[in-house]
A and B are shown apart, each in its own frame.
Chain A
Amino acid sequence: MKLTQIRAQFPVLDSQVYGKPLVYLDNAATAQRPLSVEASWKQSVEQGNANIHRAVHYLAGVATDAYENAREAVRAYLNASAKEEIVFTAGATAGINLVAYAFGEAFVGEGDEIIVSVAEHHSNLVPWQLLCRRKKAVLKVLDIAPDGSLPVESLEKLISERTKIIAISHISNVLGLVNPVREMVEVCHKHNVPVLVDGAQGIVHCAVDVQALDCDFYAFSGHKIYAATGTGVLYGKKKWLEAMPPFLSGGEMIHTVRFSGTTFAPLPQKFEAGTQNINAVPTLVPALAFARECRENPEVEAEQEAILDYVYKQLTEDERITLYGVPRGTKVPLFSFAVKGVHHEDLALILDKMGIAVRSGQMCAEPLMDRLGVTGLLRASFAPYNTLEEAQYFIQCLNKAINMLV
């Protein structure tokens, strides 16, 4: 597929806002959905809607197949060793909450320790804080280096005999750096500590192979990788998922229910209580196919590399601008920055009127903002359907906006 054909999959990219062409650079918040995802949704709603797994009728079979095909597509995409290790959730937040609760119930007690990094999204922070409060456990925080990178050496120093789990993002939604997850897993496993990876941004920018990473959990949201909202995936190693008690309970997740006691369904149904997101989950199939197509497409790859080069250069060479998340070698096209003497909200408001959608604020990472000593930042995050031309327009408008404000 050519880049123009890829863009044609997203009609909104051709639209205008305030009389200006829309330039959508808020992809780290949510990506746009291609027509193939819309078609999958439409197909499910119009021709394939029934509740899954239980009924014997024809339509239930169609819906169940679509749902389980999606599980297989996710398994293949992540290179997980078995379908049982793929649990559908409502998103990365839901997946992390599942682990924080169920793993916590099984393995965390008073005085135990959990490690997160200072750069975590609230979704990979608050569930662990709540777990620590419930169990009287201790939350330890791994700091970032001045350039935004995560030093593996300091992680090892934080691990103690009481460390039960480490929860770390693959790519911070603010810093836009690929963290050394493989190395971190190695260090943690040396001390028999499992690792949960928050893959909300990582799944978008990296080819994730959970067996190669050897992480114990990997959670991501469908909507950031072009699938319908309300979809999400939690990958978990079978040995952990089997040892964890259910999180939500009710329909679908049981084996037998008696007042004398209830037994639970095998994996992955044990963690999929209630009617699942039956129309949306199948959209993961075309969404992941699209993501793969983009990743393996030389024209898209070249354009993304050009965008990364260009924006990185512009932002790092401008004395008025401080870019957070600096190492070029691990940078993805997700840029958070501050402009000296200018408030991020003002920039975002002006850019909006120029047709550019960027994010401003704390980006659900207040502890990181405190750590960086800022009240908020401006973030521009690019997707494979963005062009170098859009990046150039963004920089041109950013300069104009800064000049209006200083």
Chain B
Amino acid sequence: MTLEEKKQEIIEEFALYDEWLDKYQYLIELGHNLDPFPEEEKTEENTIKGCQSRVWLISEKKDGKLLFRADSDAIITKGIISLLVSVYSGRTPEEIAADDFGFIGAIGLRENLSPTRANGLVSMIERMKEIAGQSRQ
């Protein structure tokens, strides 16, 4: 599935929910189902600290593609992280660096990404872009 197709798929999935709480319920499920993150990787270096939730992010490059793994101590944030990982992990650095991450807004979670929310999510996206920028050939 291309990056665009994957994003479209998620946008359509979220269009099913018009109630906020249903949307959160779905994110909570996604959060619970996120691949477990290795405890030993929860180091200071891999921590993205916010006033509220903490986020951990690691990446590796394989066959020219970036693979991300991430975790959070808050479950809704973890659900959004799960979306981000499913969309962007396995893409080339060029694709990631060129993307505007706007689909998060399209599924109605823009406010969860507002810098004033002071959570780790905004910094996580920054970090993903930074990693993509650095790994470009």
Contacts and interface: CB of A to CB of B under 8 A. Distances in A.
A joins B in a complex: yes
Interface of A: 18, 343-346, 348-350, 353-354, 360-362, 375-376, 404-405
Interface in B56-102: 73-77
A405 B75 contact: yes
Contact of A375 (B28, B54, B75): B54
A361 B21 contact: no
Interface of B: 20-21, 24-25, 28, 51-54, 73-77, 112, 118-119
Contacts of B54: 375
Contacts of B119: 345
A404 B76 CA distance: 11
29 contacts: A18-B20, A343-B53, A343-B75, A344-B52, A345-B53, A345-B76, A345-B77, A345-B119, A346-B28, A346-B74, A346-B75, A346-B76, A346-B77, A348-B52, A349-B24, A349-B112, A350-B21, A353-B21, A353-B24, A354-B21, A361-B51, A361-B52, A361-B118, A362-B51, A376-B51, A376-B52, A404-B21, A404-B24, A405-B28
Given A349-B24, A375-B54, 20 more contacts: A18-B20, A343-B53, A343-B73, A343-B74, A345-B52, A345-B74, A345-B76, A346-B76, A346-B77, A350-B24, A350-B76, A353-B24, A360-B52, A361-B51, A361-B118, A362-B51, A375-B73, A404-B21, A404-B24, A405-B75
A104 B76 CA distance: 46
A99 to B, nearest CB: 27
Contacts of B20: 18, 353
Contacts, number: 43
B64 to A, nearest CB: 36
| Most B CB within 10 A of own CB, among A18, A346, A362, A375 | A346
Contact of A404 (B25, B52, B73, B74): B25
Contacts of A354: 21
A361 B52 CA distance: 5
Contacts of A353: 20-21, 24
Q: Rank and list the top 6 A-B pairs by shortest CB-CB distance, nearest first.
A: A343-B74, A353-B20, A345-B52, A345-B74, A361-B51, A345-B53
A350 B21 CA distance: 7
A376 B51 CA distance: 8
B112 to A, nearest CB: 7
Contacts of B51: 361-362, 376
A375 to B, nearest CB: 7
A230 to B, nearest CB: 19
Contacts of B52: 344-345, 348, 360-361, 376
A345 B80 CA distance: 13
A350 B118 CA distance: 17
A350 B24 CA distance: 8
B14 to A, nearest CB: 15
Nearest to A348: B52
A354 B51 CA distance: 22
Nearest to A354: B21
B109 to A, nearest CB: 10
